[in-house]
Structure 1
Amino acid sequence: MNIGLVRSARPEEEQRLARVEGCTYSRPRQAVILAGGRGTRMQPITLDRPKPMVPVLGRPFLEYQIEQLRQEGFERVLLLLGYLPNVVIDHFGDGSRFGIKIEYAVTGADDLTSSRISNARNLIDPCFMLLYCDNYWPMRMERMWQQFCAAAKPGMITVYSNRDGFSRGSVILDSENNVTVFDRSRLTPGLQGVEISYAILTDLALELLPDKDTLFEEAIYTPLATQRRLAAYVSEHCYYSVGSIQRLPATERFMKHEKTVLVDRDGVLNRKPPRAHYVCSYDQWEWLEGSKEALALLHRAGYRVIVVSNQAGIARGAMTSTDLESIHQRMCAEAAAAGGKITAIYHCPHGWDDGCACRKPKPGMLYEAQREFDLDLTRTLFIGDDERDRQAADAADCLYAQVSDGCSLLDLTRQLLEQQGHRQT
C-alpha cells in the first residue's frame, strides 16, 4: 500500500460538465490571480516589492499558490498586476520554470479590482478560478468542481466557516450553502463565514461588471447573492495569508509542513474493548504489539504524533474526564519511556446521539488539531482502525491508512518511513 495515495479519488468528477442557466462549462484550467495592490498592511516588506512577492520561508508567497494550481490540474495562470509589476514578471517569466503557462495584464497601481478584471476580460476563459494573491487554502479541486456542477449557479466562492472567530465574517448562507448576503463592508448583522477567494466563476457572472472603477466583490458577489445566483463551498480548514504582518508567523508555520501523523487510540495504540465497553482505568489498558515501537520510530524520524479519539464512556457515565486524563498521562509516559512522544490528544466525550461536531465520523477533532498546529490536512496522514475513522479523514481531506489484523501501526509506520526515505533503526 502506498500511504501517500490513500485518499478518496473521484477522477470522473473532473470530466463532469457544469450546466448553468442554459450554458455548458468544462472544468476550468485557467486561474486568474488579483495581484496588483500596494500591500500597505505588509509594509515595510512591500516598500520594494508587491504583496505576492512577500517571502515565506525564503520563497515568494505567490510561488506556493502557483505550485498548488499546477498540482490541482491548472494549466494556465493570468496574473493581474499593478504595483511594481516587473518584480513579479522578472521572477516568474512565462511560467515554464514552474511547469505552468503564465500570462500578465497590467493596470495602474491604484486601480480597483473590477477594473483589473475588465481590462483583462479578453484573456479570461468562460469558466475560471479567481484567487487573491494573499490567501492560501488547501483546495481539492475535484470536490469543488463536483459542488459547482450540482449548484448550477454562475459563481461559487469559497467560504471559511469561521467558527473560531478567526476573522470578521462577510457572508450569510442558507441551509443549502447558497449565499444570501455578501457584504464586504461587514456591516450587516449576522455575518459569519469569511470569503477567501478560490472562486469558480463564469462569463455569466462577469456580465455584471460595471463601467466604473470599483471593487470586484461588491460589483459581482453582492448582486449575485441578492439574485440567489451565488453558491458557497464551505470549509472548516483554516486559510493562511500574507494580508498583514500579524498573520505572517502562522503562515510560515503552515508552510513548513512539519511532519505529523494523526492516530486513533483504541484499536491502533491499544487493544480495543468490545462495543459499548471502555478502557476506564489504566489497569484495563493493553498496548497492541509493536505500537510503542512505532511511536519511537516516528519520534526519531521527526514526526509529531497527535491522538484523536472518541470517548463516549464519559457521556455514558462509565468514567470521568479525570479518569481519562489519568489514562492518557500513563499512556504518554510509557510511550516516552519507549522512545516515543505523543504531542497532543484530542477526545470527544459526547454520546453516540448527542449530535456534536467532534465525534467521528465527523471531522471536528481533526480540524481542531489543524488550527492549533497549523496543519495542512491534505498532506497529513490519519491512521485509524474502522469506517468512522476513514469517513472522518475523507471529510477533512486527510490522507488515510487503516490498521487491520494483518497490518499493524508498526507495519504502516515502516511503510511510511520507507516511502519518505528515513532510515529505520
Structure 2
Amino acid sequence: MRNHPDSAMIFCAGRGTRMGELTRDLPKPMIEVAGRPLVDHAIAQLAGVGRLVANLHYFPEKLATHLASAGVETVFEPELLETGGGLKNALDRFTGEAVFTMNTDAVWKGPRAAEVLAAAWDPTRMDALLLTVPHAHAHGHAGPGDFDIGPEGHLVRGRETIYTGLQILRTSTLDDIAERCFSLNTVWERLLETKRIFGAVYPGEWCDVGHPEGIAVAERVLKDA
C-alpha cells in the first residue's frame, strides 16, 4: 500500500520483571519460544519493513550482538524512558511521517502482522492505527480487552479487542510532549479526543508471552499451525 511506513521501532529496553527468574541474567526479548528468541518472532512480523531500530537497556550487550546479526540498529537508553520516551529518543533514526512500533512479548500465527496493518493505514484520516485481536483469537491473556472499534474504525476505550503491541504512529504526535519519560498511552489519550486513532483486527492467532506461563501456551499455538 502506498504511504505506509518503511521503518519500525522495536521496544527491547524493559527489564521483564513479570518473567521472574527467566530474566535474572537475560533480557526478555532473548527468551526463547519454540526455539527462537521472542525478538526474532517480532522481527519476522516486520519482514519487508526497510529499517528496524531497537532500544536497549537491560543486558544490552547480549541483545546488541544478536540484533546486529539480524540487521537491526540499536539505541542504548542509560535510563528507562518507557515506550513514548524510548520512541522519542530514537526519532533521529527515522525518516518519513510515521513508523511502526512493536512490543516483543508476543507470538503470532497467521498473516504477517505488519502487512495487515499497512494495508489498513490511511494517513489522510489517521494519526495512529493499532492492530488488535478479539478475545477468541487471543491466547495467554487473562485480562480484559483494551479498546472497542467503532463502525468507521475509530477506537474508543473498551473491552472487545486486545492491543497486540503493534501500531503505526505519526511521529509528529510526540512533538509537544515535554516529558523525557512517558508512555504511548499519553499519546493515545490525546488522539482519542481528536478521533484520529483507529484500529485494525488481526485475522490470525496471537499469544501474550509477557509472563512465564505464556511460553508453553505460545508453543502449543505455534505447534498447531
Q: Please give the residue correspondences for 1:48-87 in structure 2 after superposition, counting only pairs within 5 Å.
A: 48-70=25-47, 73-87=48-62
TM-score (norm 1): 0.48
Q: Please give the residue correspondences for 1:252-331 in structure 2 after superposition, counting only pairs within 5 Å.
A: 252-256=219-223, 258=224
User: Deviation string for 1:52-76 (max 9, x for gaps)?
Assistant: 0001133211112223322xx1122
Counterpart-to-counterpart distance in 1, 2:137 and 2:65:
39
Counterpart-to-counterpart distance in 2, 1:50 and 1:159:
26
- Map of 1:111 onto structure 2: 81
Q: 2:145 aligns with which of 166, 169, 172?
A: 169
Higher relative contact order (CA 8 A, sep 6+): 2
User: Deviation string for 1:304-332 (max 9, x for gaps)?
Assistant: xxxxxxxxxxxxxxxxxxxxxxxxxxxxx
> Residue type of the partner of 1:158?
L
- Map of 1:122 onto structure 2: 92
Counterpart-to-counterpart distance in 2, 1:57 and 1:163:
22
TM-score (norm 2): 0.86
Matching of residue 178 in structure 1 with residue 149 in structure 2: no
Counterpart-to-counterpart distance in 2, 1:140 and 1:134:
14
Kept in 1, the 8 Å contact 2:207–2:214? The answer is yes
SS of equivalent residue, structure 1 residue 92: helix
User: Deviation string for 1:122-172 (max 9, x for gaps)?
Assistant: 112322111001123343544432321287211100111224785421113
**Equivalences, count:** 219
Counterpart-to-counterpart distance in 2, 1:175 and 1:102:
37
Q: Please give the residue correspondences for 1:338-353 in structure 2 after superposition, counting only pairs within 5 Å.
A: none
Query: Structure 1 residues 67 and 164, CA, compared in 2 at 3 Å: closer, same or farther?
Result: closer
- Map of 1:202 onto structure 2: 170
Greater Rg by CA: 1
**What percent identity do the matched residue pairs reach?**
23
CA RMSD of aligned residues (A): 2.3
Kept in 1, the 8 Å contact 2:135–2:162? The answer is yes
Query: Structure 1 residues 88 and 32, CA, compared in 2 at 3 Å: closer, same or farther?
Result: same
Counterpart-to-counterpart distance in 2, 1:89 and 1:150:
33
> Residue type of the partner of 2:135?
N
SS of equivalent residue, structure 1 residue 158: strand
Q: 1:243 aligns with which of 190, 193, 210?
A: 210
Q: 1:136 aligns with which of 96, 99, 107?
A: 107
Shift of residue 199 of structure 1?
0.6
User: Deviation string for 1:30-83 (max 9, x for gaps)?
Assistant: 11111111101112111111110001133211112223322xx11221001111
Counterpart-to-counterpart distance in 2, 1:63 and 1:240:
15
Instruction: Structure 2: state its 5+ residue gaps.
Output: none
> Residue type of the partner of 1:249?
A
- Map of 2:121 onto structure 1: 148
- Map of 1:38 onto structure 2: 15
Counterpart-to-counterpart distance in 1, 2:172 and 2:137:
34
Kept in 1, the 8 Å contact 2:4–2:121? The answer is no
More strand by share: 2
Kept in 2, the 8 Å contact 1:210–1:219? The answer is no
> Residue type of the partner of 1:42?
M
Matching of residue 228 in structure 1 with residue 195 in structure 2: yes
Counterpart-to-counterpart distance in 2, 1:30 and 1:253:
31
